[in-house]
């Protein structure tokens, strides 16, 4: 039986790790979408040893991309079983300084593009009477540091749309999920932290502060993606999964206090 995924942000990080895991799990075709054509070609060449990979180099900020992506997936593989929206815009902007260009960029890529992709994918999944949609959001959707205000709002909007998609498509055999991601060590995050000027060992030192002693890896997320689109998760729909080691609101006590104080 053929199983097909469309993965946005497939050139690296979460998208690439999920593609690898799904091919190893028996997915028969994957369309990887990314705006970075060079990295996309490189990743696709590596993954093609595991299975049938097609690529689409385009920008999700372009309004024509979502419909084109779903049409390409159907043209190449005849169906779509998983839409994994991993690509995201992580631009900074606080309440006091966010400008309309940053705001629009965030909402175009983090809200409008996933909405259009869900609309177009649902048409195909309804015909199949099956499908899984997984949108990558963030723990920051619940609030965070000031510079992430506009990003937070865009991910909160994605959470809301995903909850509604889960409800709207439930009777069509389509299940929709959100991964509210915590701090993950991806190529994208490495680039962000380098641009912010953090020292080269930031991932090790910040990871050491975590309960597990490390940051989340793309492979950790790939495990969850594989589970959510498997028969084992058929009884789940609409969950926003907080994929983070530090629950919302958690803070580290002073070592002098007992852990329950």
Ligand X SMILES: NC(=O)c1ccc[n+]([C@@H]2O[C@H](COP(=O)([O-])OP(=O)(O)OC[C@H]3O[C@@H](n4cnc5c(N)ncnc54)[C@H](O)[C@@H]3O)[C@@H](O)[C@H]2O)c1
User: Where on the chain is the footprint of ligand X (CB under 6 A)?
Assistant: 9, 11-15, 34-36, 59-61, 86-90, 109, 136, 138, 181, 183-184, 186-189
Q: Name which of 36 and 159 has its Cβ closer to ligand X.
A: 36
Q: Which residues contact 162 (CB under 8 A, 6 or more apart)?
A: 133, 135, 137, 176, 177, 178, 238, 240
> Are the beta carbons of 77 and 31 closer than 8 angstroms?
yes
Residue 41 beta carbon to ligand X: minimum distance, rounded to whole angstroms = 12
Residue 129 beta carbon to ligand X: minimum distance, rounded to whole angstroms = 29
Nearest 5°: CA angle at 247, between 136 and 225? 30
β partners of residue 83: 6, 133
Backbone φ/ψ region at 109: left (φ over 0), alpha (ψ -120 to 50), beta: alpha
Residue 107 beta carbon to ligand X: minimum distance, rounded to whole angstroms = 12
Q: Name which of 231 and 249 has its Cβ closer to ligand X.
A: 249
Nearest 5°: CA angle at 134, between 137 and 216? 55
Q: Name which of 172 and 189 has its Cβ closer to ligand X.
A: 189
Within 13 Å, how many C-alpha atoms sit on residue 50's CB side?
18
Residue 137 beta carbon to ligand X: minimum distance, rounded to whole angstroms = 7
Q: Which residues contact 237 (CB under 8 A, 6 or more apart)?
A: 166, 170, 175, 176, 177
Q: Name which of 110 and 132 has its Cβ closer to ligand X.
A: 110
> Are the beta carbons of 89 and 109 closer than 8 angstroms?
yes
Dihedral of CA 42/43/48/49: which sign?
positive
Residue 59 beta carbon to ligand X: minimum distance, rounded to whole angstroms = 4
Strands of the sheet with 82-85, listed across from one edge: 52-57, 29-34, 4-8, 82-85, 131-138, 174-181, 240-243
Residue 234 beta carbon to ligand X: minimum distance, rounded to whole angstroms = 25
> Are the beta carbons of 140 and 179 closer than 8 angstroms?
no
Residue 32 beta carbon to ligand X: minimum distance, rounded to whole angstroms = 9
Q: Name which of 168 and 220 has its Cβ closer to ligand X.
A: 220
Q: Name which of 2 and 205 has its Cβ closer to ligand X.
A: 205
Q: Name which of 117 and 125 has its Cβ closer to ligand X.
A: 117
């Amino acid at each position: 039986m053929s199983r097909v995924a469309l993965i946005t942000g497939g050139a690296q990080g979460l998208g690439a790790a999920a593609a690898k895991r799904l091919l190893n799990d028996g997915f028969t075709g994957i369309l990887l979408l990314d705006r970075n054509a060079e990295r996309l070609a490189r990743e696709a060449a590596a993954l093609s040893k595991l299975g049938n990979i097609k690529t689409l180099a385009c920008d999700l900020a372009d309004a024509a991309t979502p419909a084109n992506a779903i049409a390409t997936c159907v043209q190449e593989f005849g169906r779509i079983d998983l839409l994994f929206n991993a690509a995201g815009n992580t631009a900074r902007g606080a309440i006091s300084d966010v400008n309309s260009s940053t705001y629009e960029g965030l909402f175009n890529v983090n809200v409008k593009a996933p909405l259009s992709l869900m609309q177009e994918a649902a048409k195909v999944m309804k015909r199949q009477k099956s499908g899984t949609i997984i949108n990558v959001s963030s723990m920051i959707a619940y609030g965070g540091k000031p510079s992430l205000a506009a990003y937070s709002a865009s991910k909160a909007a994605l959470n809301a749309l995903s909850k509604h998609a889960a409800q709207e498509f439930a009777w069509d055999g389509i299940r929709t999920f959100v991964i509210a991601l915590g701090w993950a060590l991806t190529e994208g995050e490495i680039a962000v932290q380098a641009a912010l000027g953090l020292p080269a060992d930031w991932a090790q030192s910040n990871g050491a502060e975590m309960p597990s002693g490390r940051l989340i890896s793309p492979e950790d997320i790939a495990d969850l993606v594989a589970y959510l689109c498997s028969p084992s998760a058929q009884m789940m729909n609409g969950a926003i999964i907080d994929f983070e080691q530090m629950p919302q609101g958690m803070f580290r006590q002073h070592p002098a206090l007992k852990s329950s104080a």
